[in-house]
Amino acid sequence: MNPETTRTVFETERLLAIGRFTDREAALGATRALREAGFQLIEITLSFEEWPSVLEELASWPEVTPGVGTVMTPEDARLALSLGAQYIVSPHTDAEVIRIARDGGALAIPGAATPTEIATAWRLGADLIKLFPAPILGGPEYLRVLKGPLPEVRYLVTGNVKPETIQEYLETGVVIAAGLGSPVLPPESVANQDWNTVQKTAKAVKQQIKKLSIHQKTRT
């Protein structure tokens, strides 16, 4: 998959499921449940030792466009790309990580919060800016203010974003997609390996977002 196709998936799906796991078994169980719920965009964070084997498994699923999060180093970015990651998400902005992602045919999605950070990341070649934690930073209103001096920047909003607020984010005209963790991966259900509940919960959220009146491509 090329970066243009991956970006189109973000623009179409609008939802990125973010899984922060502690072991391979939980990661595979949860991501299978997300796949069965119809999620195409699934991100696993580099928070557990076995993440490479899980990413490799996700990359073998034709209906899933996988990526990785909490990418802190160029070495991790290179490894993730070699295993099939289609987007590299970081909590910060690292010029080398951005370059490696883009050279590897993946979307570069660094984290940035202030106007200076956002402008710097965009200049370095970011495809999207990860605004985290979006609600604490000011939510949709903050994005509307940023749109004035930075009209060309497009965002992935994450960090305790609630499904019921996604439409307002999309209505800013600069948000491509929202990343959701616990709303689609309830911690108790994951801990209990209750994959049926995870699937039902994730499917309900996905159906909720599909009904949004602004579920169309954001202009770029």
Place of tokens 């950070």: 117
Provide the CATH number for the domain formed by 3-210 in this structure. Answer: 3.20.20.70
pLDDT in tens, 103-159: 999 999 999 999 999 999 999 999 999 999 999 999 999 999 999 999 999 999 999
Positive/negative CA dihedral, 14, 89, 7, 139: positive
Domain boundaries defined on the chain: 3-210
pTM for the model: 0.95
Place of tokens 């490799």: 56
Mean pLDDT of the chain: 95
pLDDT in tens, 186-219: 999 999 999 999 999 999 999 999 887 655 445 4
* Gap between the Cα atoms of 154 and 118, Å rounded: 10
Query: What are phi and psi for residue 44, nearest 5 degrees?
Result: -110, 140
The pLDDT, as a whole number, for residue 210 is 87
Helices 74-82 and 95-103 cross at an angle (nearest 10°) of 20
The pLDDT, as a whole number, for residue 220 is 46
The pLDDT, as a whole number, for residue 214 is 58
